[in-house]
A and B are shown apart, each in its own frame.
Chain A
Amino acid sequence: MILDVAGLSFRYNGRSVLEDVEFRVNRHEILAILGPNGVGKTTLLRCINTLVRPHSGTILLDDRDLLAMRRDEVARLLAYVPQRSETGPITAFDAILLGRRPHIGWDIRREDILKVHAIIEKLHLGDLALRPINSMSGGELQKVLIARALVQEPGLLLLDEPTSSLDLKNQVDILAFLRMIVKGHSLTAILTMHDINQAIRFADRFLFLKDMRVFAAGTREIITPELIGEVYGLPVTVVKVNGMPYVIPGSD
């Protein structure tokens, strides 16, 4: 799906958080939203997900206006993986089954259960299926939450800091896993990230926010010491490792 955001502004308690944000994500692309803390990365995701209403601007998904749609219609088009989710004594299978909520009427059908089963098999979560999610590690839970979002059968996947609570191995695992899914299922994905080097290796395009606005957007080529220095207010050096830019704090 193609996402087109134009002129998006959001205020919170009279204070401007986002101003005139404009960008586009093409089909099957992964976009990473980057920028310093408090710049409005999560707010931007929440606007796209219609969790909060922007004060002006348009959000078009394949030329359909997301802001004019009903909540359940939006839920059938895009899925959101929040940074944190409440956990309780329910099994991973039931937690993933919840992702079918936008598609069910009075009750789940056999097809819904089979779809959950299919995604569990595909993601090799079989061992977790009947375990309660409140006894899982951060990495396991994150996979379950991603599986829930996928079983929603969205065209656009939004993830808020999907790796923030994970150790190094789990970070690499989850990102590889996400990339495989996005590329293998004709999805489009947008995520916020803190670790710029991880983002460079994972995403196709990058959106840098600064002072409530889009500071720069583009592919890996735009990542220069000048840009990173401007956005984060910190002198950096960019070196090439295996042909990929690698950002190191410090000016030499």
Chain B
Amino acid sequence: MHLEVNTSPEPDGYLHYIRQKGLFIAAAGLCLILLVLVAIAVGSSFIPIPEIAAVFLSPSGGGVSNIVMNVRLPRVLSAVIAGAGLAAAGVVMQSVLRNPLSSPYTLGVSHAAAFGAAFAITVLGAGSLSHLISDSVVVRNPYIVTICAFAGAMCATTALLVVAKYRSSQPEVMILVGVALAALFTAGTTFLQYFSSADQIAAIVFWTFGDVGRATWSDLILIIAIVLPSLGYFLFRRWDYNAIDAGDETAHSLGVNVERIRSFAMLLSSLITAVVVSFLGIIGFIGLVSPHMMRRVIGSDQRYLLPASCIAGAILLLGADMVARLIIAPAVLPVGVLTAFLGAPLFIYLLIGRNVP
């Protein structure tokens, strides 16, 4: 059949509706940019925004330039990229597993990645541990650490995909599997600690608290090199995720290779989780909370939900990190602790009042 369109008038209502969503995302993006500037400005010494602009325009190598380029900017970029990446992983996992409680953290993927990374650092000697709080783990070989973290994450993901194939209709089952996986890999990390020195134990424990302040420029480049192409891929597949949201049968009849899209989405989500955990530690709940907040505001259409969730994740993690930096200044709280404090109650709320499909 062929639909004639020439005679029909413009769908004004709908065009207005999607224009509003576009405007919302643009506004959120603007908020993120402002927050980035503020985050670079505040800290133990305040740097006015014009000076920051001056540093960007002509890096002079002076004191202010050093703080901006080597301390604040890597920290802020880490928060933005990790927040966006974890949120994207969360929204995509929620879609392809058709389970609103999914995220790298709630399904144990983060813990599995942390175990892999800890294994690489302690057993394979890919990093050195020191008792200095400010610099607890130095990753000497980021590739081995990331590869091991990814291997750990893929173990958890494979288990989840098997469960999803047979018991996908029950979100709670999946979460319980996630709890089991988290417990298993936490036990694995504890096992590694048992054979470590007291200093090393302190360092590993400290390391598993997520902290966006520890990434160097070279770490950051690796994080960006993995997260940005993944986000691009997710966006490219947004229509397929919309189709899967409508049910496997519908997706299939719309020409979507459901199994392949699902596996690849989980693989990339694991990769994002692995690289974030390797360099920043475990940061919980960003991947769960951001999509839920945005779904309430602009609905579950992935064309808008995906970018909006990424921006929300970046804003949340960056904002949480600012609070963590300022709340007990001059000491800095690891942001992972703060996101857990904020995210856990919301997770319980979602479990109790689960009315979001």
> Are B255 and A153 in contact (CB-based, < 8 A)?
no
Instruction: Say whether B254 contacts A101, CB under 8 Å.
Output: yes
Say yes or no: A49-B1 contact (C-beta < 8 A), given A89-B299, A114-B8, A117-B11.
no
Query: By the criterion CB–CB under 8 Å, are A121 and B3 in contact?
Result: no
Q: Residue-by-residue, is B1-31 near A (CB-CB < 8 Å gives 1, otherwise 0)? A: 1111101111101110100000000000000
Residues of chain A with a CB closer than 8 A to B255's CB: 71-76, 101-102
Do the beta carbons of B14 and A152 come within 8 Å of each other? no
Residue in A90, A104, A117 whose CB lies within 8 Å of B8: A117
Q: Is there contact, CB below 8 Å, between A82 and B250?
A: yes
Judge if B229 is at the interface, Cβ distance under 8 Å. no
Tell yes or no: B111 within 8 A of A by CB.
no
Is B243's CB within 8 Å of the partner chain A?
Answer: yes
Within 8 A of B (CB), among A85-111: 85-91, 93-95, 98-99, 101-102, 104, 106, 111
Task: Please give the number of chain A residues whose Cβ is less than 8 angstroms from any Cβ of chain B in the complex.
Answer: 52
Q: What total of A-B pairs shows CB separation below 8 Å?
A: 123
Q: State whether the Cβ of B321 lies closer than 8 Å to any Cβ in chain A.
A: no
The one of A72, A95, A116, A187 in contact with B1, judged by C-beta atoms closer than 8 angstroms, is: A187
List of A residues within 8 angstroms of B295 by Cβ: 89
Q: What is the CA–CA distance of A74 and B256 in the complex, to the nearest angstrom?
A: 11
Count of chain B residues with a beta carbon within 8 Å of a chain A beta carbon: 37
Contact B253 A85 (CB under 8 A): no
B301 close to A (CB within 8 Å): yes
B253 contacts A75, CB within 8 Å?
yes
Complex contacts, A187 vs chain B, CB 8 Å: 1
**Nearest CB on A from B166, distance (A):** 14
Partner of A87, one of B8, B242, B357: B357
Instruction: Among B249, B299, B300, point to the contact of A80 (Cβ < 8 A).
Output: B249
Check if B253 sits within 8 Å of A49, measured CB to CB: yes
**What DSSP secondary structure best describes chain B's contact surface?**
loop
A155 touches B246 (CB 8 A): no
B13 to chain A, nearest CB (A): 6
The residue on A at minimum CB distance from B300 is: A88
| A51 in contact with B1 (CB, 8 Å) | no
Task: Assess whether B253 is in contact with A51, with CB atoms less than 8 Å apart.
Answer: yes
Within 8 A of A (CB), among B65-120: 98
Q: Report if B158 contacts A (CB, 8 A).
A: no
Indicate if the CB atoms of A151 and B3 lie closer than 8 Å.
yes
Q: Which residues of B contact A51 (CB under 8 A)?
A: 249, 252-253
Which residue from A71, A121, A153 sits with its C-beta under 8 Å from B257? A71
* Chain A CB within 8 A of B247 CB: yes
Is A186's beta carbon under 8 Å from chain B?
yes
In the complex, are the beta carbons of B299 and A155 less than 8 A apart? no
Give Cα A78–Cα B1 distance, bound, in whole angstroms: 10
CA of A49 to CA of B253, assembled, Å: 7
Report the minimum CB–CB distance from A167 to chain B (whole Å).
Answer: 23
A53 nearest CB across to chain B (Å): 12
| 11 A–B contacts from the bound complex (CB under 8 Å) | A71-B256, A72-B255, A75-B253, A82-B249, A82-B250, A91-B17, A93-B14, A94-B301, A115-B3, A130-B17, A153-B3
Chain B interfacial positions (CB closer than 8 Å to A):
1-5, 7-11, 13-15, 17, 98, 236, 239-240, 242-243, 245-247, 249-250, 252-257, 295, 299-301, 356-357
